């Protein structure tokens, strides 16, 4: 059981627990998900500190950089290096000159919550002025049966969730519902960033499939998906109102309550049939 040392590269640990049931108590150990401070450092300057699951951090770095508009394509980010410290991890990477100059004009550092999705936004005015991604014109057509298949496949592809019950899953699904890639994290936005990074690292595009999230669909989730051109995003839980409005404006098909054989389509329903 972990005591004094912080397991900065462990995804989970064993912790003591007192379980109550029907008035009786049992002392046992439980498997608990770990979250680690992860600093994203560009050209020597820290841009954000996130609380994340310490796995697939190369994917996280690339996906975060793409979904936050720090880079426009994978080739503008290079030399990704994950450095372990006593209290967390640093992801050190380098940006092409123009991209770094633009980044330095934005907020220099951010202390982020678990999976914070408003990185670099310092005020309400900045948030409201944030440009909406270009209208998605991808013609991806997803059958309702594909959503059901994706849910079934994703459930079996979340090893950390099955160990801990405490992480979110993000899956990249082909149009027939088969799951191509899955990433997990304690933060839903981090899970999506890791997935985006994994797809981009493999040279894939975002117009010929859909994303399935095990979480709710918040504004940040839709904004990140729209930023890289994902046409359809389905979530197991509810969307927020701001998420629906962003999806409508950005041309993204947003599906909520994707559970078993039912779902609700909140925007651009023409892609679901």
Q: Is 259 within any annotated ligand binding site?
A: yes
Q: Is 30 within any annotated ligand binding site?
A: no
Q: What residue has token string 């859909």?
A: 210
Find the helix packing angle between 219-228 and 188-201, rounded to 10°: 10
> Alpha-carbon torsion 113, 117, 120, 126, what sign?
negative
Task: Please report, for residues 48, 96, 108, 109, 245, the alpha-carbon distance to residue 103 in angstroms, rounded to integers and kept in the order given.
Answer: 12, 11, 8, 11, 27
Catalytic residue among 116, 119, 132, 173: 116
99 contact partners, CB below 8 Å, separation of at least 6: 70, 71, 72, 76
Note every long-range contact of 27-30, with CB atoms under 8 Å and residues 24 or more positions apart, other chains counting: 29/1
Q: Is 206 within any annotated ligand binding site?
A: no
Asked if residues 38 and 60 have their Cβ atoms less than 8 Å apart, the reply is yes
CA 20 to CA 269: how far, in whole Å? 46
> Alpha-carbon torsion 214, 77, 251, 220, what sign?
positive
Note if 89 is an active site residue: no
Q: What residue has token string 């080739």?
A: 75
Q: Is 257 within any annotated ligand binding site?
A: yes
Q: Is 56 within any annotated ligand binding site?
A: no
79 contact partners, CB below 8 Å, separation of at least 6: 92, 93, 94
Q: Is 183 within any annotated ligand binding site?
A: no
**1: three-class secondary structure by DSSP:** coil
Nearest to 175 by CA among 154, 204, 150, 196: 150
Among all residues, which ones are annotated catalytic?
Answer: 116
What residue numbers does the annotated binding site cover? 257-262
């Amino acid at each position: 059981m972990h005591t004094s040392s912080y397991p900065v590269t462990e995804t989970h640990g064993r912790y003591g627990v007192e379980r109550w049931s029907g008035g009786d108590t049992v002392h046992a150990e439980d498997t608990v998900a770990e979250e680690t401070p992860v600093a994203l450092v560009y050209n020597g300057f820290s841009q954000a500190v996130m609380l994340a699951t310490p796995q697939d951090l190369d994917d996280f770095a690339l996906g975060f950089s793409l979904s936050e508009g720090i880079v426009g394509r994978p080739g503008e980010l290079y030399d990704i290096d994950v450095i372990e410290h006593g209290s967390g991890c640093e992801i050190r990477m380098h940006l092409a000159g123009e991209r770094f100059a633009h980044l330095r004009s934005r907020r220099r550092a951010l202390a982020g919550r678990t999976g914070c999705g408003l990185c670099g936004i310092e005020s309400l005015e900045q948030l409201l002025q944030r440009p909406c991604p270009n209208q998605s014109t991808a013609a991806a057509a997803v059958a309702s049966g594909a959503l059901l298949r994706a849910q079934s496949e994703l459930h079996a592809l979340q090893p950390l969730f099955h160990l801990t019950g405490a992480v979110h899953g993000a899956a990249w699904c082909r149009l027939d519902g088969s799951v191509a890639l899955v990433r997990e994290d304690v933060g839903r936005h981090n899970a999506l960033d890791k997935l985006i990074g994994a797809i981009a690292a493999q040279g894939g595009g975002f117009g010929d499939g859909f994303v399935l999230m095990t979480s709710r669909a918040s504004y940040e989730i839709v904004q990140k998906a729209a930023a890289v051109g994902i046409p359809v995003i389905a979530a197991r839980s509810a969307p927020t109102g701001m998420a629906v409005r962003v999806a409508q404006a950005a041309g993204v098909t947003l599906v909520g309550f994707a559970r078993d054989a039912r779902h609700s389509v909140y925007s651009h329903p023409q892609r679901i049939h």
